[in-house]
Structure 1
Amino acid sequence: MSALLSKDTVRRGVAAHSAIGLVCCALLYLICVSGSAIVLYEEFQRLEQLDAPEMESIAPQAVDRAVAAVVASEAGEPPTTHLYVHMPTEALPRTTITTDTQAVHVDADGAIAAPEENAWSEFLLALHYRLNLPPVWGMTLVGMFGAMIVALGVSGVVAHPRIFRDAFRLRARRKDEVATLDWHNRLAVWTLPFALAIALTGTMIGLFYVAGFSLAASAYDGDSEAALAPVFGAEGEADPAPAPVPRVAPVLAHMARDYPAVRVSYVILHDPGTRGQHVQVIGEHHRRLVFGEYYHFAPDGSFEGTTGLADGAMGQQFAASIYNLHFGNYGGLPVKIAYIVFGVALSVVVATGTFIWLDKQARKGRPRPLVHAGWWGVTLGVPLAILATLLARLALGNGEPFVAIFWAVTLAAVGLAIAQRRPWAKRRLPPANPEYAR
């Protein structure tokens, strides 16, 4: 076969192969960097809108007034299918109401204070969650990269039998590939439990759509809601006939009386203003990994039961724990700081792994200066691009095209690095040595 191809064709094929590999590594690096940043999702929301009213709690009657005000503001519009009331929490002490068409902050008295303006935080979440692609495609791709991290972690341990014995051996003073390899191996060992936990949970979250659709197609005649009902509960039957919007105050009073240890994080009105409506509460349980339990109420405020995410089948509790375990939404600020530190370390492992491979190729007589330079552009360009979007948000406002800014800065950094045709850091290539060339 090789005899039928010219040297120029082979050279182009090798270049294309290297470019595809660089793109995969770049996306994996992007997921790790953005994941380290999105740990502070709630804190970023507060930074974006410093003047939004904040409170430790809000009276049930004030929530009723807020719901009524939001519903009244949408009079004449198509009815919303869901109305979410975000209750004040420790991480985000704000009351926010979201419908199909708007999101507003309300003050402690229940009056609408201002529209919610957190476009940058949502951009950053979408960047990590689905690479700003359509949900099904983006989340599936991110899930596949999560599986790749698991494979890289396991294969790395197998390929380096002394990796645990040398866990604290670091020759960082050397200015060559030995130091890079040591940093890569040591950080990989120190972060291995974190990397596996994050990668496994990320894979489960990312492949949610694929798994749900596959289960629905194979066992539920294509009904995805029925496939997920055994875990997250089923929606009630719809009845579009008009009805008064239910009051939230009796629901919150019931939760305070019968579940005083549960912190209400959300109140959800399903199909509000119709006879098929019902109220659902998400309650956080102290010292539990589950994101919360679903408490179900009839329109008149009578309690109908729970879904079982906190005390039901083991599979339900496991499914409800994946999100918090992945994003570090438990344990407060100390856990978030730990997630950021480990996330940055994992990003360094991905970045140095690519440099190590490129250096090995150069020692074998197959240098790739353009790819090497491009990888420097990715390594520095991704965090700079995220910072550029944040600065654009703070300087220019909520409506900026953050996706376009991010990719423009990233591609500009890569293009500038490739145009220079050399790495942005001078690195000496020592002769091959079995100690680090394995």
Structure 2
Amino acid sequence: MKKIILAAMAAMLTLNAGAAEKKDGEKANQPVFTTVKANPITSIKNQNRSGTCWDYSTLSFFEAELLRKTNKTFDLCEAFVANKTYMDRAIQVVRLHGDCQFAQGGSAYDPLFAIQHYGICPEDAMPRTGSLYGDTLFNFNEFFNVMSPYVAAVAKSNASKLSPAWKNGLQGILDSYLGKCPESFKYEGKTYTPKSFAAAIGLDSVACNEYVSFTSYTHHPFWTTFAVEVQDNWRNPLSWNVPIEDLGRIIDNAIMNGYTVAWGGDVSEEGFTRDGLAYMYDTKKLESLEGSDMARWLKLTNTQKKNLIDSLGVNVPEVTPTQKQRQERYDNWELTDDHGMLIYGIAKDQNGKEYYMVKNSWGETGKYKGTWYMTKNYIIANTMDYMVNKNAVPKDIRKKCGF
């Protein structure tokens, strides 16, 4: 019996040592980041239950631009941009008799357009977010349940002639949920209109012409511009089409020279975690790491797959994106346009792999309090388009584009 007990104890010690070794190995694989370059940004915000990432990320971009230019911190008003943008989008839907989408989403061009045409105001010039319907943050569930049928009813009307009254009704809905856009307001003791405020802080029409958009696909010629064909790109702004290697080179040049990038792309991939990390997983290599064929990998539950991937950490195998792959994923609907974020820095993990530091608009969530570390492979593979200051673009690319 004594021998059996001693053998059992030895086995337990061996198992515990193995478990500890595995745990230590997994811990060693967790990323340890060293910042290469991080540009100043404003505070993390929370879009909450609203499809306004395009609004939050792009105003964060302009706030970072103002920080860079003036060393002053501004808190620009997302509700102002949303109010103006949803009215404009409704007008287009009605104009086209409903043959286009009315939705919460948008693109980086929408805040730019709003600032150019309507100006901007600070956050506190409008009612506190969500306060008009008893919330503390945006919650668009009831708002769009009211507004979408209204717009659809007008757009699909059998009337031979529309009166202008429908716009007044829609404006009432917008103002009830978002707040009325101020005609004038006070800021630091001075009175401004939205347009005069935009000009005063350096976002006048001349400054707005500094910004340009880039993408990378083969269904249009390189070094030409086209409107990326996604539904939320409803104003049809033009993006420069560049080869995939230049897509990343522009971002790197921008970050290293003190600029940020308003990024739009796909975060529906499994490699985009809720913990603040994003990897472009190579599923085929993960299957082989499991020690057998695809059949065994497919039998694993999602939790088991996630545990395996988490244990690999920084050593998880990644796909290196190619031009062909980007085009195929776009054409087969795998690459989607579902989120906007702000790229503001570059970091390295303990293996030397580089990541972009990306500001999200989901509050201070995840391991990094609202920042996501997204590998360069992930960003390049999943970029739909992005906006950047022209002066952040490498000179040879600017020359090819003619600006």
TM over 0.5: no
TM-score bin (small chain): under 0.3
Structure number with higher helix proportion: 1
- Is the strand fraction higher in 1 or 2? 2
RCO (CA 8 Å, sep 6+): is it higher in 1 or 2? 2
Q: What is the TM-score normalised by the length of structure 2?
A: 0.24
